[in-house]
Structure 1
């Protein structure tokens, strides 16, 4: 189905939640509880904008002979509006920074775990081995020890 033909499917339906759009309006200077008509109009505007950008990105991908849309296709779609293009580029740069930070953190955790395992092995080798088996104590043992102490103190 042609992407523009799909746009007619959502006419009259809200694609974003009322609460999200109300918060967006409030963040940009509107009242806390905007009129339902205002929210509906904003929903239509946002939906139309997103569909048009996705359509342009899809055309760029098809022109390149791909079925999947890539980041570069959105860059091409935003080429006429430098402020939108800058915001999209900023979001993807932040995403790359977050990904690098997660890899560094994961690598650091792996090194810490390896160091801890090596330290544990060194301690096991250094400690003298004894055939003494430690018995796990339960509550019954605690009671028996307490009774034995009590009897020993009385004598």
Structure 2
């Protein structure tokens, strides 16, 4: 560690969980957690500083993944793990892109289907309304016809039968 760091306590929960996972008590001593937190923070700062110097030597201001790989090149285990994490990250981002693309296509299809169903429903409603109007008109016509036929019968029967039909 090339620099002294302020007490950041960035990784307290993670360090205490790791300690418990490796066989320590569920609530480790605070001094132990702080010590490991400082070591982890210092290591990360050193790796990032080395990667930054690599980028500067390449006359770049931005860090790339290759800079971190170069900084970890002397430790094959850490380099292998870093490459594995990078590959996994790429797979996850590609899967998310594919999922979002298919989700967008599916939502577009659903929107189109709903729009078509809405148009069909409007057409069905219009047809139903026309049918209802026709039925109402037919009902009026049949009622009118039945009334007309009753009136015709009454006229034919004469005034004698008029009293009987009123009852």
Scaled by the length of structure 1, the TM-score of the pair is 0.70
Question: Which runs of no fewer than 5 residues in structure 2 stay unpaired?
Answer: 130-167
Aligned partners of 1:122, 1:96: CA distance in 2, in Å? 39
Write out the 4+ residue segments of structure 1 that deviate beyond 6 Å after TM superposition. Answer: none
- Which of the numbers 8, 11, 16 marks the counterpart of 2:4? 8
Aligned with 1:60 (options 32, 54, 62): 54
For structure 1, list consecutive stretches of 5 or more residues without a partner in the other structure: 133-155
Inter-partner Cα distance in structure 2 for 1:118 and 1:47: 53
1:61-80 per-residue CA deviation (whole Å, 9 max, x = no partner) reads 00011111111100000000
Does the CA contact (< 8 Å) of 2:20 and 2:26 recur in 1?
A: yes
Calculate the aligned-residue CA RMSD, in Å.
2.2
Distance (Å, rounded) in 2 between the aligned partners of 1:105 and 1:17 = 33
Relative to total residues, which structure has the larger helix share, 1 or 2? 2
State which of 74, 86, 107 in structure 1 corresponds to 2:68: 74
**Residue 95 of structure 2 aligns with which residue?**
101
Q: How many residues align?
A: 125
Q: Does 1:119 align with 2:139?
A: no
